[in-house]
Amino acid sequence: MEHRTKRDLALINLVSNFESKYEKGHIEYLEEKTLYQLINYYEEERQFEKAIDVVELALEQFKYRSDFYILKARILLNQGNIRESLDTISTAESIAPFENEIIILKSRALSMCGNYDEALSILEQMKSYAMKSDLSDVLISESYIYEEMKDYESMYEVLKESILLDPNNDEALERMLLCTELSRKYEESIELLENLLNEEPYSYMAWYSLGHAYSYMGEYAKAIDALEYSFIINKDYEVGYIDCAELCVQEKLYERAYNIYHEANDIFGPESDLMVSMAHCKIQLGNISKAKHLLFKAVKYDPYNDEAFFALGMCYVREQNWYTAINSFHKAVELDDRCEQYYFELAKAYVEVEDYTKATFNFNKATKNGPEQSLYWSEYTSFLLKMGLYQEALCILDEAEEYTFGADLLYCRAICLYYIEDRKQAISILEEALEEDFTIHRMIFNIAPELEVDREITAMIRYFSNVE
């Protein structure tokens, strides 16, 4: 980790020094290695304009180096400047007409223009003379064209061929992961990857791809194990740690998820987001004290991490420390005022301290920011019903129908109708709700406890209980 940190600091210092001199117009000669480092950095950060600026400097120094023209063409393609990219490729061709990378880049640009036949024809010609070591990359390039064409069957076949030619081609395996999702060839992909791993058991990308294929098939235990192998083999494969931990959280394996996040943070951190993820695991495990400790550290490393403040608020909710929870939720909202969940939890906290005006305001904000979530509407309605605001609750339910649907909303409407003494309609809506989702029927008793002694309603529930 120390080596990685020093390397990162050296790169940041290099970039900072370059930008300072560039702004002042003090750039003189830059070493070739430095130029590549700067270009790669800006590409990874998706700062394409700055990457182009460095490439132009490189071309001033190395006018006849095809490598820099290739880099420029690639960056222009990433920007969507296809015509300018093709012009740059043409210049590169005049310098190095038989350079494979130039030909591949040209086919990619042509496919992005919709000239699929010409793009495929170029690659087909390459196949006739490409070395076996290069053929795998040619097939990957072909997969991009088929993806543009939405021909996912052909995309799968060329990627399969590429992987069989070069089982250690990480790009082919990454592309296969995308292709598996697009083509829905999950079973075929699993068979391919399992056979590959029998021959190449230390291919971390194959394990990673297999993990996702298992996940698509709902085989989560196998998926977790496969994803874990990806970062056991490659300790620097951060995405393997994160995806594995997230799947563990999905499967409520919080201790295992915590350990994976912890290991990732030791290697790649300290990172505020990883600390927040670790804290979420500790919250689920009931260790609120440890969760708060992690979140305080997360905020220290990144004072603008809204998720850290929100998670702190949830810790205080667990402790029923409502005013401190409200303070934390407000900080989260200040940092991200578009997240409906922040307003929702803020509204519930205000209900607990009996500040109903602010609760109403925040319930309203939650439904406006996340109108497709039936939970926010049903909780808002429940709050209004408990306040005795039956007509207002009905208005909210009418508004909710414009955006979403859910059995929880049907139950709320049934209670509204019951309270305004439209019993016949209330019973009809309740029957519809019970048919839609019987499992959440007890929510009506949480909102309106008196319904537990209503004979007709309890009889309906017994009937649907037997049907279930």
pLDDT value at residue 64: 86
What is the rounded distance in angstroms from the CA atom of residue 137 to the CA atom of residue 141? Answer: 6
What is the rounded distance in angstroms from the CA atom of residue 66 to the CA atom of residue 89? Answer: 9
For the chain, the structural domain boundaries read 1-97, 371-468
pLDDT value at residue 7: 45
pLDDT value at residue 134: 87
* CA dihedral (366, 367, 371, 373) positive or negative: positive
What is the rounded distance in angstroms from the CA atom of residue 392 to the CA atom of residue 203? Answer: 60
What is the rounded distance in angstroms from the CA atom of residue 65 to the CA atom of residue 76? Answer: 17
Q: How far is CA 322 from CA 17, 331, 348, 442, 458, in A?
A: 48, 14, 10, 26, 36
Decide: 359 and 350 in contact? Cβ < 8 Å: yes
Fold topology of 1-97 = 1.25.40
This prediction's pTM? 0.82
What is the rounded distance in angstroms from the CA atom of residue 116 to the CA atom of residue 150? Answer: 11
Tokens of 137: 């990359």
DSSP character at residue 450: G
For 110-170, the three-class secondary structure string (H helix, E strand, C coil) is HHHCCCHHHHHHHHHHHHCCCCHHHHHHHHHHHHHHHHHHCCHHHHHHHHHHHHHHCCCCH
Q: Determine how many CB atoms are found less than 10 A away from the CB of residue 379.
A: 20
Quick one: which of 363, 387, 357, 372 has its CA closest to 447? 387
pLDDT value at residue 337: 96
User: Could you tell me if residue 29 is left (phi over 0), alpha (psi between -120 and 50 degrees) or otherwise beta?
Assistant: beta
Q: Determine how many CB atoms are found less than 10 A away from the CB of residue 201.
A: 11
Tokens of 214: 């298992």
What is the rounded distance in angstroms from the CA atom of residue 263 to the CA atom of residue 400? Answer: 44
What is the rounded distance in angstroms from the CA atom of residue 130 to the CA atom of residue 447? Answer: 71
pLDDT value at residue 129: 86
pLDDT value at residue 8: 67
Q: How far is CA 41 from CA 10, 13, 51, 166, 235, in A?
A: 12, 12, 8, 28, 22
Q: Which residue type sits at 466?
A: N
What is the rounded distance in angstroms from the CA atom of residue 326 to the CA atom of residue 104? Answer: 56
Quick one: which of 258, 241, 240 has its CA closest to 249? 258
Q: Which residue type sits at 281?
A: C
What is the rounded distance in angstroms from the CA atom of residue 244 to the CA atom of residue 228? Answer: 6
pLDDT value at residue 3: 35
pLDDT value at residue 340: 98
User: Could you tell me if residue 354 is left (phi over 0), alpha (psi between -120 and 50 degrees) or otherwise beta?
Assistant: left
Decide: 349 and 367 in contact? Cβ < 8 Å: no
* pLDDT tens track, the chain, 468 positions: 333 433 467 888 888 888 888 887 777 788 889 899 999 999 988 999 999 999 999 999 898 889 999 999 999 998 989 999 999 999 998 998 888 889 999 999 999 989 999 999 999 999 888 887 789 999 999 999 999 999 999 999 999 999 999 999 999 999 999 999 999 999 999 999 999 999 999 999 999 999 999 999 999 999 999 999 999 999 999 999 999 999 999 999 999 999 999 999 999 989 999 999 999 999 999 999 999 999 999 999 999 999 999 999 999 999 999 999 999 999 999 999 999 999 999 999 999 999 999 999 999 999 999 999 999 999 999 999 999 999 999 999 999 999 999 999 999 999 999 999 999 999 999 999 999 999 999 999 999 999 999 999 999 999 998 866
Helix (H) / strand (E) element for 259: namely helix 254-268
pLDDT value at residue 47: 93
Q: Determine how many CB atoms are found less than 10 A away from the CB of residue 346.
A: 26
pLDDT value at residue 290: 98
Q: Determine how many CB atoms are found less than 10 A away from the CB of residue 195.
A: 12
